Amino acid sequence: MNFQRQELIEMIYALGEADKNCLLASRIYQQKFPNLRHPRVSAFEKLKNRFEATGNVTYSKPTKMPYVNDEEVELSVLLSLEENPHLSSRKIAAELPVTKSSVNRITLKHKFHPYHIALHQDLYGNDFVNRVDFCNTILDRVNRNPNFLSLILFSDEATFKNNGIVNRHNMHYYATENPHWVRQVNHQHPWSINVWGGIFNSQVIGPFFSMAL
């Protein structure tokens, strides 16, 4: 579906009001312009990606890349990754005379994989040694009593705040029809809540909720 420039601009405004949430932007656009054609959520996603990549709302044909020797292209891509392994394929393609698909092909050919960061709890002082000692103690207890782990209450707690950042890529809603799931953000009154839960002898205890101070 082709959109006029003014329609695309209004769609960008809707994305801004929805904090880049394409589903919410689609609903905002429908409410503002009930008599106009309603773009699909996918249209907002394509527009958002194009606007972030080029700064333009209208689609422009890609300029023809100058001829570059394949070996030179591969070397340039690999050198870029060597200098900064955090670069995205889009960023490399923008800096070099090569398409994004070619960057992906080269990285795949040379077995480069975009690994994601893994978050781990920081260790201090004797923490590492203490953890190893704890594991050895548990193994010794289990050898003497195979049911030892069923006598331990494993618990954890977390604090949730309403001013946190939501990663929409990790939040899903499985349904046969679109539920138009919306989450409100930017609350004027901040609050936080503690959640505690445990497991004892294969039984889940909790969760228990309490307001955080």
Instruction: List, run by run, the mean pLDDT of 10-residue segments along the chain (213 residues).
Output: 80 86 88 85 85 74 53 83 81 81 84 72 80 92 91 87 56 51 59 88 88 68
Domain membership of residue 65 (yes or no) is no
Domain membership of residue 135 (yes or no) is no
Report the pLDDT value the prediction gives residue 136, as an integer from 0 to 100. Answer: 94
Report the pLDDT value the prediction gives residue 144, as an integer from 0 to 100. Answer: 93
Report the pLDDT value the prediction gives residue 68, as an integer from 0 to 100. Answer: 46
Which of 54, 69, 92 delimits the end of a domain? 54
Domain membership of residue 196 (yes or no) is yes
Domain membership of residue 17 (yes or no) is yes
Q: How many CB atoms lie within 10 A of CB 2?
A: 6
Domain membership of residue 47 (yes or no) is yes
Residue range of the domain that includes 173 = 152-211
Nearest to 14 by CA among 30, 29, 35, 31: 29
Nearest to 24 by CA among 13, 14, 34: 14
Buried/exposed 161-198: b ≥16 CB within 10 Å, e otherwise: eeeeeeeeeeeeeeeeeeeeeeeeeeeeeeeeeeeeeb
Count the domains in the chain.
Answer: 2
Compute φ and ψ for 156, nearest 5 degrees: -160, 160
Cis peptide bond N-terminal to 34, omega within 30: no
Domain membership of residue 183 (yes or no) is yes
Report the pLDDT value the prediction gives residue 177, as an integer from 0 to 100. Answer: 55
Domain membership of residue 80 (yes or no) is no
Domain membership of residue 136 (yes or no) is no
Question: Which residues, in sequence order, are bridge partners of residue 158?
Answer: 195
Q: CA–CA distance from 159 to each of 113, 142, 207 (Å)?
A: 34, 33, 13
Determine whether 77 is exposed, middle or buried from the number of CB atoms within 10 Å of its CB (0-12, 13-18, 19+): buried
pTM for this model (two decimals): 0.33
Alpha-helical regions (H) of 55-163 = 70-83, 89-95, 100-109, 127-144
Report the pLDDT value the prediction gives residue 175, as an integer from 0 to 100. Answer: 43
